[in-house]
Amino acid sequence: MDAARLPGTARPDQVVAHVDMDCFYAACEQRRDPDLAGEPLVVGMGYEGGETHGAVATASYEARAYGVESAMAISEALERLPRRADADDAAADEDAEATGIYRPVDMDYYESVAAEVKEILHAESDTVREVSIDEAYLDITDTVGWDGVAEWASELRATIESEVGVVASVGVAPTMSAAKVASDREKPDGQVVVEPGEVRTFFADLPVEEVHGVGPVTARELAELGIETAGDLAEADPEVLENRFGERGREIRRYARGEDTREVTPRGDPKSLSRESAFTEAVEATDEKRRKVTTLAQAVADRAGRKGARYQTVGIKVVEPPFDINTRARSLPGPVADADLVESIALDLLGEFADRPVRKLGVRVSNLDFSAGEQASLTGFESATGGGTAESAAGPDRTELEPEPTADGQASLTAFDGDESGASGDGTDASEDGTPENAGETDPSERDPDGQASLGDFG
């Protein structure tokens, strides 16, 4: 009997989706510069144009065909895939097929794109666990269920690609560990659904390193024990595994057998809450943009109310064609819960962009407070049930223009990062394996199956 149906394991009807962006950093660069699509592209951490130092953060599938891998030194990558000559070099056209394009990591931009993706994910489920800049788990038990889950996954992938311009792969299973493995099986731009009762069969013939928590080091040690497939691991003597790997030996055996009791849980309280919406085509009409912002402001305020959150900062995001991102924010003297105030501030901030074409709009509340207490008002503070006024935040001394544009003119989306729809704002790629509850699950040397290295690999 499959573990998904055994007492004490994940509930039989649980539906977990794992969404993993394909070659995310490279995809972001290709979105910014469409001419890079289909090219061997290497994104380097600590790399600067024309230099040979640094390490590969990710490589496009075209670059991987030349043996370029994540965490590889840039100098080694250049030996396998020389940097493409400048366009005015006469030899450039002749050698183009054997050369690659190198770009430095631009974390501000990648986080801005991740925020757009995760906004879509949070619209699909109230229970989302963001585990890194480019992946997340969703509990879709109550919103989707098993009937029609394949169609849902297909539509989700299409939505991400059409609205954000990057590609995702999706795995759906009754357990988190199986969903994660499933999302990697048909990359890029793939999906795999593993239904209850099929988890152990799904794992049986897979290489042992496909099991969640088994990296290259552990895989080599398991091979010394004659364990080469997930099926071998599922049938292994648990005492032998415990003697060799400690409690983690039993844990990876359980994962190989489809026994995973974890449920999708968000990572604590969000730092901010936001809603975004894109126009079919860029819009200049002021009234149409104001209507959009009004709707978004109401949605954000309602969401904050349902979560019991007050907020001290209200912000907007404005995307101008093609992907020029602008954010503006205004802070209050203290936390409030006032839907009318969110709308008033958002519309006021929008005024700067009244006559400019806009492709997408977003509204965000941040500096969240989940405790009961007093909230700011025009005259100071009042009880949390009272209401603030628009005037309490209208003065120019309360306005923060954020963020500063980056060197290439691309604005950072820090204002919309780290919230319930965005990536972490600390500039790192904190993975699931680094959290205390999962300590010991993964080899330190294990890389993302998608071939994208965590920035922590280069610390």
What pairs with residue 444 in β-bridges? none
d(CA 209, CA 224): 14
Q: How many CB atoms lie within 10 A of CB 154?
A: 12
Local structure of residue 86 (DSSP, 8 states) = P
Q: Is 426 helix (H, G, I), strand (E, B) or coil?
A: coil
Tokens 């071939």 belong to: 451
H-run or E-run covering 313: strand 311-320
In the chain, how long is the greatest CA-to-CA distance? Answer: 73
What pairs with residue 192 in β-bridges? 171
Task: Write out the two tokens for 377.
Answer: 């008002």
Sheet with strand 41-45: strands edge to edge: 55-59, 41-45, 101-104
Pairing mode of beta strands 311-320, 324-336: antiparallel
H-run or E-run covering 296: helix 286-306
Pairing mode of beta strands 358-366, 272-283: antiparallel
Tokens 């989706």 belong to: 17
Could you give the residue ranges of the DSSP H alpha helices within 45-148?
Answer: 61-64, 74-80, 92-95, 107-124
CB contact at 8 A, 389 and 377: yes
Render the burial of 426-449: b for 16+ CB within 10 Å, e for the rest. Answer: eebbbbbbbeeebeebbbeebbbb
CB contact at 8 A, 314 and 339: no
Q: How many CB atoms lie within 10 A of CB 54?
A: 21
CB contact at 8 A, 387 and 338: yes
3-state secondary structure 189-212: CCEEECCCCCHHHHHHCCEHHHCC
CB contact at 8 A, 167 and 183: no
Q: Which residue in 116, 130, 135, 441 is the catalytic one?
A: 135
Local structure of residue 28 (DSSP, 8 states) = H
Active site residue 48: no
- Which of the residues are catalytic? 135
